[in-house]
Amino acid sequence: MPRPLQEQKVLQDQVKEIETLVVDGMDISGHWNRMFGQRVIFDYDYDNLMKVADLPGGESLNWCYGCAKCTAVCPVDIVGDYSPRKIHRKTQMGIDLFKSDDLWLCTTCMNCLRVCPKEVNMIQIMPAVREQAVLNGGVPAELQKAFEDTAKTGNPLGQPQRKRAAWTDKAGVDVPIIADLGRPVDILWYVGSYPSYHPRGMDAASAMARILTALGVDFAILGKEEKDDADSMRLAGEKGLFEMLAEHNINAFNKYEWNEMVVTGPHEFNAFKNEYPKYGFERPIFHYTQFLVRYLDQLKDLMQHEVNAHGICRVTFHDPCYLGRHNGEYEAPRQLLRAIPGVELVEMGRNRENGYCCGGGGGGMWLDSFTKEHTQMRLSERRVLEAVEYQATVLSVACPFEVSRFEDGAKSTGNDQLKVLDILELIDKAING
């Protein structure tokens, strides 16, 4: 039997709690009477959600239906309180993402998109919103400094462009610069900013040079003509800076004759493979692990030294987000590690598609002080603890961002005994002792 109109109106008005209410003999006083009204979400103003959804690239935030699968896999939520679902809910409740600190916490690791049934794509949403924040001057200070250094010097470390190839002096082998050769080469090696300037990055670059030399590869580098790939700048919202450096690099790449490009880092790999083609550059690009796997049989003959003279070296591998989830390469690094004498490869619980994040992606490399205010610990520290839980003696990496991040994490968590080594360093040790 239909309820009287007056009673229907009472029930429709139960958006707010009524202190005393009895319906059909049932006492539903207080918060219980909410269930008889519309969901309280309809009280909210959707303007701030639609501000994001109306941006080119931001549309998919409006597709979220709150299943929270992303929350379970978001690396930031493990050390804080964060996920795309929570971002969606906050914007529904009126938070302006363009001015919120939440805008800068996403590392664009892509684990949320991997599990999202609605394909809410933070890899597009965050750069779109950040671009507007950059235009409005709303950028954290340490990230702004990285932008400025990259614009002025061609690298986020603020080092002189003329010293881009200075690391080669200590490599122990000849590292040809393509402009000096005056001839085509088989492999153009894009070294990258951190391998060119950061002390631990230079260790990996020197190891790569020695490996390529031992293999007899015909290679060269660009030297001072090389500038940062700027993909992390793009993801952090500085699209103009990305386009400027992309134009410079593409011009440098096209000046010379070469067959394939090998890159040291996953972020450069992602940039040249997926982003630079939008600007007219499309050539064969390989991450160094993919390239060296081709020479696996030759490497096995060259690697005559066990990497740990005192027994088995228990190694675990951290999958870089931009090599793994973004570009689907999981096996090449593991093939190399398994071939190294004295290495026992141990997988951490979060690996391959569900690998964790070092915290350096999407501009996070230059936001550690900022994110410290919003998380219980750095993502790199949490990953170090996981490696220790699996009793690894070496945490191996294949991204130039990660060595310094994990070494700092090992020190800050009191796990100095855990060695952090690029796969290049392990191969080099096995070849040269």
List, for residues 235-280, the tens digit of each pLDDT value. Answer: 999 999 999 999 999 999 999 999 999 999 999 999 999 999 999 9
Q: What is the pLDDT at residue 433?
A: 83
| More confident site: 35 or 186 | 186
* Amino acid present at 372: K
List, for residues 411-424, the tens digit of each pLDDT value. Answer: 999 999 999 999 99
Q: What is the average pLDDT value for the chain, to the nearest integer?
A: 92
Distance (Å, rounded) from C-alpha 193 to C-alpha 86? Answer: 34
Angle at 179 between CA 175 and CA 182, to 5 degrees: 100
**What's the predicted TM-score (pTM) here?**
0.88
Distance (Å, rounded) from C-alpha 151 to C-alpha 228? Answer: 10
Distance (Å, rounded) from C-alpha 301 to C-alpha 384? Answer: 32
| More confident site: 308 or 396 | 396
Instruction: Please provide residue 186's backbone torsions phi and psi, each rounded to the nearest 5 degrees.
Output: -75, -45
State how far the alpha carbon of 181 is from the alpha carbons of 118, 212, 218, 376, in Å. Answer: 52, 17, 11, 51
In angstroms and rounded to an integer, the radius of gyration of the C-alpha atoms of the chain is: 26
As a whole-number percent, the residues of the chain with pLDDT over 90 amount to 86
| 8 A C-beta contact, residue 156 and residue 149 | yes
Return the structure tokens found at 147: 């932008």
List, for residues 73-121, the tens digit of each pLDDT value. Answer: 999 999 999 999 999 999 998 899 999 999 999 999 999 999 999 999 9
Structural element, H or E, at residue 220: strand 219-221
| 8 A C-beta contact, residue 127 and residue 237 | yes
Question: Under DSSP, is residue 189 helix (H, G, I), strand (E, B) or coil?
Answer: strand
List, for residues 8-59, the tens digit of each pLDDT value. Answer: 444 445 445 667 778 778 777 766 555 555 555 566 778 999 999 999 999 9
Q: For CATH 3.40.50, list the domain ranges present in the chain.
A: 296-432
State how far the alpha carbon of 304 is from the alpha carbons of 340, 341, 429, in Å. Answer: 9, 7, 9
- Mean pLDDT (whole number) for 176-198: 97
Angle at 214 between CA 211 and CA 215, to 5 degrees: 85
Q: 3-state DSSP helix/strand/coil percent for the chain, to nearest 5? A: 55, 10, 35
Report the DSSP pairing between strands 285-287 and 313-317: unpaired
| 8 A C-beta contact, residue 272 and residue 229 | yes
Architecture (CATH level 2) of domain 296-432: 3-Layer(aba) Sandwich (3.40)
Q: What is the pLDDT at residue 16?
A: 55
Q: Indicate whether 316 pLDDT > 50.
A: yes
Q: Indicate whether 309 pLDDT > 70.
A: no
Q: What is the pLDDT at residue 34?
A: 57
Question: Under DSSP, is residue 395 helix (H, G, I), strand (E, B) or coil?
Answer: strand
Return the structure tokens found at 209: 């040079």
As a whole-number percent, the residues of the chain with pLDDT over 70 amount to 91
Q: What is the pLDDT at residue 31?
A: 62
Helix intervals (H) in 217-287: 231-235, 239-254, 266-270
Distance (Å, rounded) from C-alpha 176 to C-alpha 430? Answer: 24
Neighbours of 412 (CB within 10 A): 13
Q: What is the pLDDT at residue 39?
A: 55
- Mean pLDDT (whole number) for 329-348: 96
Distance (Å, rounded) from C-alpha 167 to C-alpha 179? Answer: 17
Distance (Å, rounded) from C-alpha 400 to C-alpha 124? Answer: 24
Q: What is the pLDDT at residue 124?
A: 97
Q: What is the pLDDT at residue 12?
A: 47
Question: Under DSSP, is residue 298 helix (H, G, I), strand (E, B) or coil?
Answer: helix
Q: What is the pLDDT at residue 198?
A: 97
List, for residues 147-164, the tens digit of each pLDDT value. Answer: 999 999 999 999 999 999
* Amino acid present at 75: P
Q: What is the pLDDT at residue 3?
A: 47
| 8 A C-beta contact, residue 423 and residue 333 | yes
| 8 A C-beta contact, residue 277 and residue 405 | no
Residue 85: name the closest of 104, 109, 61, 66 by CA: 66
Return the structure tokens found at 304: 């005559």
* Amino acid present at 4: P
Displacement of CA 297 from its chain's centroid (Å): 31
- Mean pLDDT (whole number) for 326-351: 96
